Amino acid sequence: MRKPDVLKGVERQRLLDALHAKYAQSAGFGQRFTYLRKKYFWLIIVQGAKILKRIIDILGAIFFGIIFFPFIIIIALIIKLSDCGPVLYVTRRVGKWGNEFNFPKFRTMKVGADQMVDTLKEQNLIEGDIKFKMKEDPRITRFGRLLRKTSLDELPQLWCVLKGEMSLVGPRPPLAEEVAQYTIDQRRRLDITPGLTCIWQVSGRSELPFDKQVKLDIQYIESQSFWLDIKLLLKTIPAVIFGKGAY
């Protein structure tokens, strides 16, 4: 057998082709292995972040539930004694991936307020006419206005956080009739679990036009992290205290 260094012509080319194929295959395997290693590394990171967020949601809901429990009892009694109507107002909202769930709030409006919506729609303040919101809504009771100003009407949603239907931080869950009017980009709000507070609620709340709210929600979805959630939770405190944009 001749040595490789004296191979010439066709024999030399065959040897070079065989070596090239062998090492190219090894390189391809190495690239695939590196890709899979990076892929599963990020999957672990993402899943870990989701688990951490869920743990914080549960602990936070329990903590705030205990802290605000006296307020919950007092608010429920005042609402019930004021007009003998229901304490809670429950609607169906759309959550992650379009799944609907019961969305409870302390009732802030007069009994039968839903029947007045059609006559008030032309006074809608939310740009885009998807969400209905009025600054001086005649359906809201005096005590209900106080609850909305302080966001205490949202306290029953801590139960939704415990059940995993909501998170402490995330886009606010919309009504099904609002989602029916969403564009493809606006539907991105449904990519994650909705929350008690969100980025636009600490940036102007109801004073922001609907398109701006959506833009901020998508911005949160694309950059969400543990520290961003903590930052938004801390910003929620002064937003609730001063009540800017809440009505």
Q: If we measure between CA atoms, which residue out of 195, 204, 205 comes closest to residue 228? A: 195
CB atoms within 10 A of CB 223: 9
pTM exceeds 0.95, yes or no: no
The C-alpha atoms of residue 17 and residue 35 are separated, in whole angstroms, by: 27
Give the model's pLDDT for residue 43: 72
Pick from 25-39, 147-161, 207-221: least confident: 25-39
Reading the block at residue 218, the tokens are 């998508």
Q: What is the pLDDT of residues 76-116, one digit of tens each?
A: 999 999 988 999 999 999 999 999 999 999 999 888 776 66
Q: If we measure between CA atoms, which residue out of 147, 146, 144, 126 comes closest to residue 135? A: 126
CB 71 within 8 A of CB 43: no
Q: What is the pLDDT of residues 170-206, one digit of tens each?
A: 999 999 999 999 999 999 999 999 999 999 989 887 7
